[in-house]
Amino acid sequence: MAEIICMGELLVDFVPTTTGVDLAAADLFKKAAGGAPANVAVGLARLGVPSAFMGKVGEDGFGHFLADTLAQAGVDITPLRFTAAARTALAFVSLRADGDREFLFYRNPSADMMFAPDDVDEAAIAGARLLHFGSISLIGEPSRSATLQAVALARQYGKRISYDPNLRLALWPDETAARTSLRLGLQQADIVKISAEEIQFLTGLDDPVAGARALWHDRLVLMAVTCGAQGCIWLTPDAAGEVAGFPVAAVDATGAGDAFMAGLLAGVRDHDAAALTPAALDRICRFANATGAITTTARGAIPSLPDRPAVHAFLTA
């Protein structure tokens, strides 16, 4: 039985085979499984944490490709649903010469956004220890209601809930809708991973610690603020600490946040709230920083997520 259920976005990423080109100029693409919660599920499986993915794909070639990719990576796909009523979500993503990412989405609406309350796998939630979700499935119905229902069930069963807002502003109708839903997501969770930019977007505050405190609520036991190459900041109800990142030759940051999330969840799984001491959190965040850093040293998300021996080797090198 999976310990951690990751829920939400699952899509095929098409990435130009040559980097530094605009999408319109690319003629060859490589396909890869993507979607932040799916990456986290694979990251966890690689770290030896039994994980499952809950969501929806189309009854089409891309849907089966995604299901096979997750299953081959060791993720339990029992809670994954197929539908003939919508196509699998697709994204075309290029890392342009100026370093910015260019996205083009097929979401019309896509199968992952059709994940409905009836699709929620209550038995999987009841058997797990933690439910992890992101904000993309909060954009529209029925996936918004399904996500909130799964979260409510997890709470009812006394499970932990973790959240990564993973803001992709282009997918939202407007900034206000994004802010409202991101805050709603935050309020559901006891563990949150959020980037310094997302904190700035939500609070207008440039200081991540002040911003994190402005977002704080009673249910939260841990917030981890990611700061790219600089590492991260952890916050508990009454303490905070900074953990430096690792200097690496980064080639592609795709999936670093998801790798970090997997490292963080793998680290906290054996700690109840009282055991999340500053010393424990420094250790856990060092592990998560290493997991994120390693992922930046190779292209793509899923192919570059490290397994546990790789993280240990990196930390002891």
Q: Give the x-and-dash track for 248-287 against ligand ADP (CB under 6 A).
A: x-x--x--xx--x---------------------------
**Is position 245 an interface residue for ligand ADP (rule: CB under 6 A)?**
yes
CB 223 within 8 A of CB 192: yes
By beta-carbon proximity to ligand ADP, the closer residue of 34 and 231 is: 231
Distance CA(33)–CA(127), nearest Å, equals: 26
Q: 148-157 as b/e, with b when 16 or more CB fall inside 10 Å?
A: bbbbebbbee
Task: Report the nearest approach of ligand ADP to the CB of residue 251 (Å).
Answer: 9
| Interacting positions 156-195 with ligand ADP (CB under 6 A) | 195
CB 169 within 8 A of CB 178: yes
Q: Give the interface segment with ligand ADP, choosing from 5-13, 141-149, 177-185, 244-252 (CB under 6 A).
A: 244-252
**Is position 292 an interface residue for ligand ADP (rule: CB under 6 A)?**
yes
- Considering only 188, 289, 304, 311, the residue that binds ligand ADP (CB under 6 A) is 289
Tell me how crowded residue 50 is: count the other CB atoms within 10 A of its CB. 15
Distance CA(282)–CA(259), nearest Å, equals: 17
Cα 293 to its chain centre, rounded Å, is: 16
Task: Report the nearest approach of ligand ADP to the CB of residue 292 (Å).
Answer: 2
CB 195 within 8 A of CB 232: no
Task: Report the nearest approach of ligand ADP to the CB of residue 164 (Å).
Answer: 7
**Is position 229 an interface residue for ligand ADP (rule: CB under 6 A)?**
yes
By beta-carbon proximity to ligand ADP, the closer residue of 181 and 289 is: 289
